């Protein structure tokens, strides 16, 4: 397939960022600006339904425009984003766990599991930190929150990055089933049986799904640094209760509250010139689909992380950081 000119420009920018960073950026970064560094500040922010854990590297009000990362799931954690803390050599980096995830409160109240509440949660964090405008990076389910936030609070958004782009359940399910056809026939048959009325043992289903994940979800094992970070940061980790309630038990169909979710119409309401779609070369969010999203967002850009799957941040952290670093620099003053 052919990549659009804007995609090629984004990849060129990423490469130039790596090769020609200014001398001050090439110097050793402070401890708090290293991947998986300890936070400079931690707090529990009150939101509807409880309190959420927030960590900051860098000083808000100093340096360039802050960036906030929104994790996937629902029910995931901020942990994978800790690989991007090197960006704190230029700007404050804000990570957080959504309510019912990670180190945040875990009331497990279904009344809290509404898209609009997750969007308001992000706005509560902005207000608590005293941030005027920030770059908003959402990954997977976090892309939906980022898109909804950009449409509702454009005055506070310097730019939006919709990474591993999930913004439509029907499109996501269609992509997952299209990608299944690229796997060996026995794996396809097992997954089809697992979705049927008389599924095989759970161990067979898990093994077949793991083949899918190894191709399209993450292509590299967790690094020792990430494993150590997860151990040190603590908290309760991933929450399968909220995942099953909002999405469902299977990657290939949704039975939860998000089963009919489709935020594609919001693309026409955001500033395309300040929007980037970011996917891995082998992403579950298929490039063809995300290109269609970009076409519906005039002026937007699409970047692909070579060699990465859905988890591009942990698959290819250096390339991902380079793309983000260049994007943020270009949109700091807008």
Of 103, 47, 137, 147, the C-alpha closest to 325 is 137
Catalytic annotation, pick one of 32, 101, 104, 140 = 140
Catalytic annotation, pick one of 283, 300, 315, 331 = 283
Catalytic annotation, pick one of 300, 310, 315, 331 = 310
Strands (DSSP E) contained in 58-126 are: 67-70, 93-96
For 24-62, b/e burial (b = at least 16 CB within 10 A) is eeeeebeebbbbbbebbeeeebebebbbbbbbbbbebee
Query: Is 140 among the catalytic positions?
Result: yes
- Under a CB-based contact definition with an 8 Å cutoff, are residues 115 and 262 in contact? no
Residue 89: alpha-carbon gap to chain centroid: 21
How far is it, in rounded angstroms, from Cα 172 to Cα 284? 8
Backbone CA torsion sign across 57, 135, 149, 146 = negative
Q: Distances from the Cα of 11 to the Cαs of 71, 127, 291, 298, in angstroms?
A: 24, 34, 15, 19
Active-site residues, by number, are 140, 283, 310
């Amino acid at each position: 397939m052919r990549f659009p000119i804007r995609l090629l420009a984004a990849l060129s920018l990423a490469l130039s960022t790596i090769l020609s960073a200014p001398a001050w950026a090439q110097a050793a970064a402070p401890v708090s600006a290293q991947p998986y560094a300890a936070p400079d500040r931690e707090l529990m922010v009150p939101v509807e339904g409880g309190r959420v854990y927030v960590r900051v590297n860098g000083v808000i009000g100093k340096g360039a425009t802050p960036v906030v990362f929104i994790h996937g799931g629902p029910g995931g954690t901020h942990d994978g984003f800790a690989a991007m803390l090197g960006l704190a050599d230029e700007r404050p980096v804000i990570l957080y766990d959504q309510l019912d995830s990670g180190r945040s409160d875990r009331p497990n109240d279904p009344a809290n599991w509404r898209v609009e509440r997750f969007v308001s949660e992000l706005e509560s964090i902005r207000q608590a930190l005293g941030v005027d405008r920030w770059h908003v990076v959402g990954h997977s389910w976090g892309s939906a929150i980022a898109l909804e936030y950009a449409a509702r609070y454009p005055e506070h958004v310097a730019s939006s990055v919709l990474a591993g782009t999930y913004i439509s359940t029907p499109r996501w399910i269609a992509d997952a089933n299209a990608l299944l056809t690229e796997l060996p026939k026995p794996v396809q048959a097992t997954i089809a049986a697992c979705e049927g009325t008389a599924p095989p043992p759970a161990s067979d289903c898990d093994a077949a799904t793991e083949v899918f994940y190894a191709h399209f979800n993450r292509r590299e094992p967790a690094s020792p640094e990430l494993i150590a970070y997860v151990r040190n940061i603590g908290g309760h980790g991933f929450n399968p209760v909220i995942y099953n309630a909002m999405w469902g038990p299977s990657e290939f169909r949704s039975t939860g509250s998000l089963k009919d979710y489709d935020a594609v119409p919001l693309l026409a309401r955001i500033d395309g010139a300040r929007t980037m779609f970011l996917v891995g070369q082998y992403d579950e969010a298929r490039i063809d689909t995300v290109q269609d999203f970009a076409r519906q967002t005039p002026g937007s850009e699409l970047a692909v992380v070579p060699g990465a799957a859905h988890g591009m941040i942990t698959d290819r952290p250096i390339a991902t950081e380079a793309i983000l670093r260049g994007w943020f620099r270009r949109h700091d003053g807008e």
